[in-house]
Structure 1
Amino acid sequence: MKIFRFKLFKSRNSLSGKAASLLCEKKTSMSHQQSHEKELLSAIGQLPQTITRNGTSSINISILLTTTSNLPLTNLESIERTIRWDYYEILKTSTVFHPNTTKIAHHPLIWLGLCHENGFQREKALRAPLGPAPNAIFFAIAMRRLNDWAPKVREAARERLPSIAENTNPEFVADVLCATLPHWVSWGRIEEDDRQVLLSIVAIKKVAESLKTRILSTTSGPTASVLTQLGRRDVFDCHFEEIAKKALQPSVRAKAYRCLLEGKITWCAGREWQWIDQRYGKRRLNPILYHRTLTVETPFLEILQSAAVDRSPIVRRVAGEILIFNLDRLGDAALALAEQLAADSSPSLAERGRFILHEMIKPD
């Protein structure tokens, strides 16, 4: 009984330790968010102090751009809300601004108009001569207008975003796309035409090069999801083999190898509810999947052999799965691959290799 109590006490302590760890991570995240909001509030608060009657200022804009450049792209909704509430509250109460100011429309401050509470003002800001986005945050805010709740704003974003992206630093555009593409299927108001606008931005040569560099060099995060969404267009088809062999993240290499070996790429375009039992109100969300055949042809056996000797078991597992479905196609070459898998250091892969060998020598 004492042993049982000790084990129960130890189990409770471990659970409480995990809960404390999760709580600590949550508090740290909230602390970082509050810190970023304070920095943004401080920068916005300094805007009215030196803006002159003709709407020109360099010091405050520099402070604002520096502050927003350091903000993460993971909490854009909070950033927009902060700008909307605090900046325009300053505009309403400040006496520094001249009522007939017109030059401010051509000033970098007009980018803040994309967060205005009034849809007409957001549309007006989009149709103004914005020029290149000053940093990734402002380009992300412009891109989010494709999911705006006002149809006219979405229409303006659809028209203006390609030219903004063309003139913006491709590093900024690539950063925003990497942060956006894994989650854009959850945007409830975006339409298919708007998605095509984003995909057309991906096709811009300098943006595609920046995206490729990030996919190859990123070591963490949902990069495999980014690659999957980029596969809606054939822009990256010619890079899949290089990504499969050189990407640092194992899940990215695994995704690239799977696409090459299957000759197609599959992506999630959204989710839909399916009833399981209407009497009890039970239902589940099923992914809506689409696929596209790759436009490039690669040597199947060579790619499979390369995947089978990859340094990550995640990638080698893909090789074993593809091998099972292509035993007849590979003939004698399948035996060498199966023996290699059977001797793998990963127990699950070794078991898969032994299964393949058993299937190959099993009498008909």
Structure 2
Amino acid sequence: MDEKALTAFVLGFHQLPVEVHPQAAMEIREISGLYRLYKAKSTYLSLIWPTRTESDLLRQHSPLKFLYIFHGSGYLREAALEAFDGPLESPFLFACIAYRLNDWVKEIRQAALACAERTFRQTAPDIIAKAAFILLPRVRDWHRWSEEAAILEKTFSRPDVVERLALLIATEVTGPAGKALTFAMRHAEMDRHLMRISQVAVQPPVRALTLRILIEGRILWPEGIRKEWIDKSMGRYKLAVTYAERVIERPVSLDSLIAQGAADKAAMVRRVAADGLVRHRASLNEVDQLTAKFAADRSAAVRERAIFILKERDEEGRR
């Protein structure tokens, strides 16, 4: 390995997708021999600079920070984090700093927090949004961090980041767009993008989820795990997900939202609209028109909702 090879590694590093981070971190550490103690020389690097310690190498060759951020030695992970300054150049690098906020060593988490405070505010919103698209569903499972979580929440709630994230959620053909939306909805900044997402999102489950949020006027997201006792005397319990909730202001009428869903090409979206018709039929102005439309739908699941309303009317008429 020489300077040219190190430069090539850094270029490849920035091309890595965020979703491969856990596997990539392990492979980079193993291939580069970044698992030895601080006082020892890395087998891989000592072949190139045999008289220098790894900390010497980092001071003299700044690009090594992209390697050392994965190092098995906490001292060198900390030194790598301290070497980052200015805007982060790729979503993968942003994710690398974010993962260190949940490092197993407290001092590294603190170094990562200081690094994030220096770099996140300078990083382009497109880069942050691409990282957030993958990280939002994952960070709820991080349990080592505490106050370090606030910097990521603050960054992901920036209006410029939320705007780019909303665009990604609407346009991504694959990936966890629905999960990203669910967790992004913790931030009220996302509310103004909901209507457009419900209309143009490429993935039908995302249109269905967004329409359900708008019709119900609220969003739920998983917040944690709690014990539900089955038999305390025997110590038997099961784990249940706890949810947080936030109220959403509808940008248009319920009738308009259900009519929009009724015209969607995806049956799952039309089914959400039909559910809304059944649930809110007493407060709608266009119940007859909407019921007739759903009753003629090509999806049996959608027709069933309309048939339920028609049967209910027949029974009331016979009383």
Matched residue type, 1:288: T
Taking the aligned partners of 1:300 and 1:336, their CA distance within structure 2 comes to 14
Q: Is the 8 A contact 2:159 2:189 kept in 1?
A: no
1:285 aligns with 2:246: no
Q: Does 1:154 align with 2:116?
A: no
Counterpart CA distance in 1 for 2:51 and 2:66 is 17
1:332-343 paired onto structure 2 within 5 Å: 332-343=285-296
Amino acid at match of 1:349: V
Structure number with greater CO (CA < 8 Å, separation at least 6) is 2
**What is the match of residue 7 of structure 2?**
62
Residue 252 of structure 1, CA deviation: 0.8
Equivalent residue number for residue 184 of structure 1: 139
Shift of 1:172: 3.0
What is the distance in 2 between the residues matched to 1:338 and 1:115? 58
Distance 1:181 1:285, change over 3 A: same
| 1:329 match | 283
Shift of 1:188: 2.4
**Residue 80 (1) aligns with residue 25 (2):** yes
Q: Of the candidates 235, 238, 245, which is equivalent to residue 199 of structure 2?
A: 245
CA distance in 1, matches of 2:27, 2:61: 23
Report what 1:196 is aligned to: 150
Corresponding residue for residue 312 of structure 2: 359
Percentage identity across aligned positions? 28
Q: Is the 8 A contact 2:85 2:118 kept in 1?
A: no
What is the letter of the counterpart of residue 271 of structure 1?
I
In structure 1, distance between residues paired with 2:179 and 2:190: 14
Q: TM-score, normalised by structure 1?
A: 0.75
Distance 2:213 2:64 in 1: 44
Quick check: 1:117 aligned with 2:72?
yes
In the alignment, the residues of structure 2 paired with residue 290 and residue 86 of structure 1 have an alpha-carbon distance, to the nearest angstrom, of 42
2:302 matched to 1:349? yes
Moved more, 68-77 or 258-267: 68-77
Q: Distance in 2 between matches of 1:295 and 1:201?
A: 24
> What is aligned with 2:37?
none
Q: Is this contact kept in 1: 2:218–2:246, CA < 8 A?
A: yes
Q: Which runs of 4 or more aligned residues in structure 1 lie more than 6 Å from their structure 2 counterparts after TM superposition?
A: none
Q: Deviations over 1:256-309 (max 9, x none)?
A: 111111111111113334333467775433111001112564322211211121
Taking the TM superposition and a 5 Å limit, the aligned residue runs for 1:95-110 are 95=49, 98=52, 101=56, 104=59, 107-110=62-65
Q: Report if the CA contact (8 A) 2:84-2:119 is conserved.
A: no
Q: CA RMSD in A?
A: 2.6
Counterpart amino acid of 1:221?
A: G
Q: Which runs of 5+ in 1 are unaligned?
A: 1-45, 51-56
Q: Is the alpha carbon distance of 1:309 and 1:121 closer, same or farther for their aligned partners in structure 2, counting shifts above 3 Å?
A: same
The answer to whether the 8 Å contact 2:85/2:115 transfers is no
Match status 1:210 vs 2:164: yes
Describe the superposition over 1:224-250 as per-residue Cα deviations: whole angstroms up to 9, x where unpaired: 110010001111110000111111111
Letter in 2 for 1:274: E
